Amino acid sequence: MKILTAALSAAALLAAAGCGGGSGSGASSSGPIDLRMTIWSANAKHLALFDQIAAGYKKDHPEIGKITFESIPFDSYTTTLTTQIGGGNVPDLAWIFESNAPDFVSSGALEPIDKDPDLVPSTTTNWEKDGKLYAYPFSTSPLGVFVNTDLVKAAGRPAPAQQIASGTWTWDEAAKTAAAVQAKTGKGGLVVGDFDYKGWDTLNAIWSGWGARPWSKDGKSCQFDQPQMVDAMTFVHKLIFTGKGMPGPGITKDFFAGDSSMVLTQISRAALLEKAKFHWDLVPLPKGPAGAYSVVGQAGIGVFKRGKHADAAKQFLTYFSNAQNSAKLAEFFPPPRKSELNAATLAKANPLLKPAQLDSVVVKGIENGTIKPSHTGYAELQQTVRAALDPLWKPDADVKTVLSGVCSKINPLLAK
């Protein structure tokens, strides 16, 4: 009994310590200030650039000791980050997915930061609350379609660039091209990057062409059962199971290894084509029944209130994201700054892409694009929709019934 009492007392103390977090905003220490930022990239080139920027900052800031960029695997990024925060190991800064933005912004976990007037308004929407900006929209990356033009040609289909020129680059035509490639070459047609029949939110890049949304703008009601979404998902279902233009569940086709004719993904993946053994092109998303559109994926960098050095972290973020460094970062991460959002600046940082590609996909994409879906409690919504959508990925699925089922599952969550 005594042991149990002691254990519970220790538990209480540990719990109190555990939820206490860091030492609070702007806590000072006697030695040099070490800053830690969590990121989800482990790319050596990305890390080298970050270290270069950090070294530049430290030259003029002798009070700063080490600036560490801690890579956390993409798949478990948010889980690991929140576990670190829960354990009191709060980083000073962190990349945050656009889908989790409402959770981080509304919880009050982040410090407000200065809003640079140079930022494109559409890029900051996700990170604002009550007129204040809570994260810098660091990477604003539009989705485009990378095309293996060799496979398209082998299938006897017109190249997407030709179709854009003739105004016929639509989802129907893209589906025909994908099906033809599969039928004539045996390679995959269209691959949706990071979808894998689990990351359903990446299909946003398709259903937006039908004007569909997963939930209403105020986030309170499900829209999976609306006609636009039913039409869009019927198109996707037919693409997979009727036209065979998209690899089915459990089948992997890697575009970058030359295994499929098109991949719908963010332009930052262009670096994977540096040593491609096939001819390729980058084109905007095809037109949908609702017309031309673009979709943008985004990451923000926020400063944690409960980090040990919140003030120093804010100052570093200001430097990290200034115009000069933003231009350097544009090599990998499209900038949210009006002054840099032009083909000339982007071309310097992206030698693999032609100015016309950058203008049509990146510049216009960011200016006119809609950000991928987000909501408070996104992880639970994501998982619930994933489970409810699973019956859709069968040849004989009734699309409308499945999508109604999705709504019945997530409406209680949206109403919270």
Which residues are at the interface with other proteins (CB under 8 A)?
A: 3-4, 6-8, 10-12, 14-16, 19-21, 79, 82-83, 85-86, 103-104, 107-109, 197-198, 248-252, 306, 377, 379-380, 383, 386-388, 390-391, 393
Cβ-contact 129, 109 below 8 angstroms: no
Q: Beta-carbon neighbour count of residue 82 at 10 Å?
A: 15
DSSP state of 337: B
CB of 10 to other proteins, least distance (A): 5
Distance CA 163, CA 226 (A): 30
SS3 34: strand
Nearer to other proteins, 213 or 306 (CB): 306
Tokens of 244: 């065979």
Nearer to other proteins, 47 or 413 (CB): 413
Residue type at position 377: G
Nearer to other proteins, 83 or 324 (CB): 83
Tokens of 220: 């309170």
CB of 388 to other proteins, least distance (A): 8
Write the burial class of residue 155 (CB in 10 Å: 0-12 exposed, 13-18 middle, 19+ buried): buried
Nearer to other proteins, 11 or 323 (CB): 11
Nearer to other proteins, 49 or 81 (CB): 81
For residue 267, give the H/E element and its range: none
Dihedral sign, Cα of residue 322, residue 346, residue 254, residue 157: positive
CB of 124 to other proteins, least distance (A): 20
Write the burial class of residue 392 (CB in 10 Å: 0-12 exposed, 13-18 middle, 19+ buried): buried
Dihedral sign, Cα of residue 92, residue 95, residue 98, residue 100: negative
Nearer to other proteins, 149 or 411 (CB): 411
CB of 21 to other proteins, least distance (A): 5
Nearer to other proteins, 157 or 253 (CB): 253
CB of 18 to other proteins, least distance (A): 8
